[in-house]
Amino acid sequence: MKFFDDFFENKSREIAQSSSRRGVLKKLGGAMIGVSAIPLLPVARAAEPVTAKVPQEEGDPASCDYWRYCAVDGYLCECCGGTYNTCPPGTEMSPITWIGTCRNPADGRNYVISYNDCCGKSSCGNCLCMRDEGDRPLYRADKSNDVNWCLGTDSIVYHCSTAVVVGLALDK
């Protein structure tokens, strides 16, 4: 034990003699700023960027069976003058959406799909599609897709729904 006491005492004295209090504080401050910056560094939020992995296509986007519609609830924009991922002219895409995870039969992989509503014209009325995978009753508001997502848009009038691929879903 005496050996350890002497060893640490000598080391402490050496460090104390060779460094100033200001120098130690400077190094400590630098380290703290460095560590606090780590959470701000960019992180990969999707498994792969969508541009790097455009899913192969299979099926008819005007049919409710189309793979991207697994959790949709609404009129398909593909039948309303838009496409499966663009709004018809004269409507605006909602920035707030319902999210689902659908399996693409062409490559067997799961993709995160955002069901953005198109807003600003009265209900389209064509191709009503309610596959509703993962949907829960309205009293679970955070888990229900039976919602008009025309919020944060100029108009709250719902027209139709799109199905935009956000990225590859991470495997469990």
CB of 122 to ligand ABN, least distance (A): 12
In whole angstroms, what is the distance from residue 101 CA to residue 136 CA?
Answer: 15
Residue with tokens 């879903």: 169
Is-contact 60 78, C-beta < 8 A?
A: no
Nearer residue to ligand ABN within complex by CB, 28 or 130: 130
- Which one is catalytic: 98, 146, 149, 154? 98
CB of 66 to ligand ABN, least distance (A): 17
- Which one is catalytic: 73, 117, 135, 149? 117
| 3-state helix vs strand vs coil in the chain, percent to 5 | 30, 20, 50
Return residues touching ligand ABN (CB under 6 A).
73-74, 117, 146-149, 158, 161
Neighbouring C-alpha atoms within 13 Å toward the C-beta of 38? 6
| 73: annotated active-site residue | no
CB of 98 to ligand ABN, least distance (A): 6
| 149: annotated active-site residue | no
Query: What is the dihedral sign for C-alpha 52, 40, 110, 83?
Result: negative
Nearer residue to ligand ABN within complex by CB, 51 or 122: 122
Active site residues: 98, 117
